[in-house]
Amino acid sequence: MPPVRKPSTKLLLLILIYCNIFAETALAQPTLTISRPTQVYSSDTRICDAVYATLKKDKGNVFIFTSTWNSTFKFWGPLSDPKANLANANSTLNSNLFTIPPALQTHVSHNYAANVSNYANFYLKNVIDIGKNELLGLLHLEYMRNFLPANDPNCPNCPFYPAIYRIGLCYSNNSGDSWIFCGDIIGVNDPSINKLPNGELDGELNIGGAPNLIIGDYIYVYFNEKSPSTAENYPSVARAKLQEVIESARNSTVTTWQKFNQASNSFDQDGLTGLGSRIINGSGLDAHTDAAYCRDLKKYLLLIRDNINTGLFMYRSTDGVTWSDKQRIASDVTVNQETRHPAYPFFAAISDDANSVSSVVGKKFYIYYLNMRWPTSSSTPMAGTDLPLHRVQVNVNSPSLVRSILNAFLD
């Protein structure tokens, strides 16, 4: 019987190395590379005061929706010049673009006229593509409880603000050339209660909005909530069944939304009157931002402004409720002795692995933001034509076998 040869030490070492390589490969996570910011526009001749909503036009161009207090613009162009063309040049006024059904006309008006007690500013913040030229639109609404025209002799110093803020829903069947207002879906649980013109209760915290994600059968919308005990605002989330939202919107109405309740670990608080729980720890956080799902990371991404640890940050999640892995996207900068804050960020991509509204992105995408003056004042307002647009490019780097081999030898 021939002698049994024992494996050499070298062979055992190689086996261990290969086992380590495959273990490292299986466990390795993709990483992100974020470029330095580059400037897209040095200024903008059209006032912007909202997050840009995107809609893929064709292989090389994207539509951009953005709003001011009384107008909504629809642009299109390549990602390097997304506002190259104004698609709705003949009509940008909200009073022309948004139809308010008769059932809601006592609740809200978008006509800028004297003594209209139910006037609201409409800001189109995000769009959801539901197919065949149909879009859902998420609105940031500001109900002006002290509305009077400027320099009104009956009340020359009446302020427009503080307003009463809500997230609303609208519907389009012509790719966003016109919209039907469907109703309010999310309100702020603010202890400083005020009444809307029809007697509904709501608070005056700026609700921000409206980052959104499709998770399973639901649409999640993120917003600023207010603690009744500390009066501090924080990011929270509400959701509704997507199919119910679509069916209601096609009938110019809204379905019931529910806010997340950490105590019960469920969505059981009314969207308009309930109290949503904090989903990200920290002070000075603001959700005037955007969200997306990244296929290559297999994670949901949420952008958040931080007004204390100043800058723009991105968080990751596997469920849309628990957020971690905070990563800085952009910082405050000083320009001509003025502090500029990265605001109104949004995701944009037109690659084949992104969906039509950049709420799903792939291996390469962009995050755009405006460099607005901060803090703001009457002499240095945040809105206007002086709003440089910047962007960073984000690449998802898959773990490679070569990297794993090197790591295995180096560890």
Structure-token pair, residue 241: 């069944």
What b/e readout covers 151-189, taking b as 16+ CB neighbours within 10 angstroms?
eeeeeeeeeeebbbbbbbbbbbeebbeebbbbbbbbbbb
Judge whether 237 and 212 are in contact, CB under 8 Å.
Answer: no
Is the pLDDT at 379 greater than 70? The verdict is no
Q: What is the mean pLDDT of residues 284-310?
A: 95
Domain ranges of the chain: 6-55+289-411, 93-279
- pTM (predicted TM-score): 0.86
Of residues 117 and 387, the one with the higher pLDDT is: 387
Look over the chain and give the mean of its residue pLDDT values, rounded to a whole number.
84
Angle separating helix axes 401-410 and 9-27, nearest 10 degrees: 130
- Cα–Cα distance list, 340 to 34, 38, 155 (Å): 20, 15, 35
Of 5-9, 27-31, 183-187, highest mean pLDDT: 183-187
Is the pLDDT at 57 greater than 70? The verdict is yes
Identity of residue 64: I
Instruction: Give the whole-number percent of the chain exceeding pLDDT 70.
Output: 77
Residue 383 backbone zone (phi > 0: left; psi -120 to 50: alpha; other: beta): beta
Measured CA to CA, the distance from residue 364 to residue 35 in angstroms comes to 11
pLDDT band of 48, cuts 50, 70, 90: confident
Query: Over the stretch 336-377, which tens digit does the pLDDT of each residue have?
Result: 778 888 999 999 999 999 999 999 999 999 999 998 876 665
pLDDT band of 118, cuts 50, 70, 90: confident
